Amino acid sequence: MKRPAIAILAIGAIVAFDQIVKQLVERHMDYHQMIELVPFFALFRTHNQGIAFSMLSGLGPLPLIVISLGVIAFVLWLWRGSAPERWISHAGFALIIGGAIGNLIDRVWHGYVIDYFLFHTPVWSFAVFNLADAAITVGAGLVILDELIAWWRQRGVEKAE
């Protein structure tokens, strides 16, 4: 972590925005209410008792809280061991941790995660997700992208030698 203050600010912003949106959804939408925004995207309030795609929903909140804490600790460990110039990975780690904390707060407070984004067509729909999930996904994508860039650069160096 080259700039911990920026990282902490980014993580805090993700968590705060995620929690504000979730509270707005909880207060102003009925359970399973759908608000169509465009023909393929809607707000749809639901609760996820599990993790991604409702996996492990039968475990209950406590094991999922422990798993979430383990994931956050693992990502922090990866982040701490990454080179200072790997700013793309650092941004990805911040997004992953911010999203994980946002969903962890839901799990601790409610026993489930509040989801509300729904991509759909008349015959298909994607899993309902939230801003924290999006941050985790984009963050993971950034870490993978940075790994590919590092691999590509290393490969170029090896070819030049």
Residues whose CB is less than 8 angstroms from the CB of residue 154 and which lie 6 or more positions away in sequence, other chains included: none
Alpha helices in 29-129 (DSSP H): 61-81, 87-110
24-29: long-range pairs with CB below 8 Å, 24+ = 25/114, 25/116, 26/114, 29/116
DSSP single-letter state for residue 129: B
Structural element, H or E, at residue 154: helix 131-160
Active site members: 115, 133
